[in-house]
Amino acid sequence: MRLVTWNTQWCKGLDGVVSPKRIVQGARSLGDFDVLCLQEIAANYPALTDDSAPEQPAEIARLLPGFEIVFGPAIDEQPLGQSQRQRFGNLIASRLPILQVQHIALPSPMLDSDPHLWMPRQCTVCTVAAPWGPVRVMTTHLEYHSLAHRHAQAQALRAWHAQACDQARAPIAADQPDLGTPYQPKPLTTDAIICGDFNFIAHSEPYFEMTNRTKPHPLADAWLERHPGQPHPPTFRLFDDTYGPDAVACDFCFVSESLAKRLTAIKVDTSTQVSDHQPVYIEMA
């Protein structure tokens, strides 16, 4: 099973060109992915994309025949005077069967004393049929402007993952309902990948929240599983200093212990400039 995760900056390259096609091509250059997880996908935001690919989820669907597309907008609004709904969020494309779709609204606590920019954040969840069984793929994009938000959002992701694992391990009721009702059995699993742009760096407080192995159902940093002791390749500000002078790694893949043993490869494309972030590829067997 091969997966690519990428913050696309609404498919805008450092040359200013907005092109979902270049994003798909760039992801494919990393490997023949089964699942593609994208963040910052926009629909009807001319201030971001001009007239280029105004409906990016639909355009990505056209570029990926044979894939099922699930778009999870964190923002879905109809501003007064705007003729079309505006949506912005995360997208999962999978050529593996998608067994279940879920969307998690993440918290945005107003704890900071100073006003700051923020937007609603969410996590899109697709349980896919991997060759060995169901795998829960979760992709997200945490708040950039607030540490308090990032920390609360990391805690929420960690708690939701633990709950999903508890559900997978719970005894099955003796009187299972008939198929065809909303109570029918679900594809519950402890196999999980949580990936995306977390807007935190390794060894920060929210990073520790995700990787704390003293908590039930721990998660592992896929890069360190395959490259112990080696620093993460930078995934942001590598070619552009708009948001700061130093390149950092803030795009991660966290995997459940049950999947950590299946990891065979992880790599970062540190050359592409068709987004302001670099894509991450992982492979499991």
Q: Domain ranges for the chain, please list them.
A: 2-170+183-284
Confidence of residue 234 (pLDDT cuts 50, 70, 90): very high
pLDDT at 176 over 90: no
Among the four given CATH numbers 3.20.20.80, 3.30.450.20, 3.60.10.10, 3.40.190.10, the one describing domain 2-170+183-284: 3.60.10.10
The pLDDT mean for the chain works out to 95
Q: What is the pLDDT of residue 284?
A: 98
Could you read off the pLDDT of 57-94 as tens digits, one per residue? 999 999 999 999 999 999 999 988 877 899 999 999 99
Within 8 A by CB and 6+ apart from 165, the residues are: 190, 192, 216, 217, 256
Residue ranges of the alpha helices (H) in the chain? 20-30, 46-49, 56-63, 147-169, 205-211, 222-226, 257-260
User: What is the mean pLDDT of the segment spanning 202-207?
Assistant: 96
Q: How far apart are the first and last CA of the chain?
A: 6
User: What are the tens digits of pLDDT across the range 103-149?
Assistant: 999 999 987 677 889 999 999 999 999 999 999 999 999 999 999 99
Q: Determine how β-strand 192-197 pairs with β-strand 251-256.
A: antiparallel
User: 3-state DSSP call for residue 240?
Assistant: coil
State pLDDT tens for residues 177-201. 778 889 888 999 999 999 999 999 9
Report pLDDT for 41. Answer: 98
Please list, in sequence order, all residues whose beta carbon lies within 8 angstroms of the beta carbon of residue 179, skipping any fewer than 6 positions away: none
What value does the mean pLDDT take over residues 17-27?
A: 97
Q: What is the pTM of this model?
A: 0.96
User: What is the 3 state secondary structure string of 87-121?
Assistant: EEEEEEEECCCEEEEEEEEECCCCCCCCCCCCCCE
Whether 31 shows a pLDDT value over 90: the answer reads yes
Q: What integer pLDDT is reported at residue 111 of this predicted model? A: 75
Q: What would the two tokens of residue 68 be?
A: 């099922």
**In this prediction, what percent of the chain has a pLDDT beyond 70?**
99
Are 161 and 138 in contact by the 8 Å Cβ rule? The answer is yes
- The pLDDT score that the predictor gives to residue 82 is 78
pLDDT of residue 81: 81
How many other C-beta atoms are found inside a 10 Å radius of the C-beta of residue 70?
20
Mean pLDDT, residues 40-62 taken together: 91
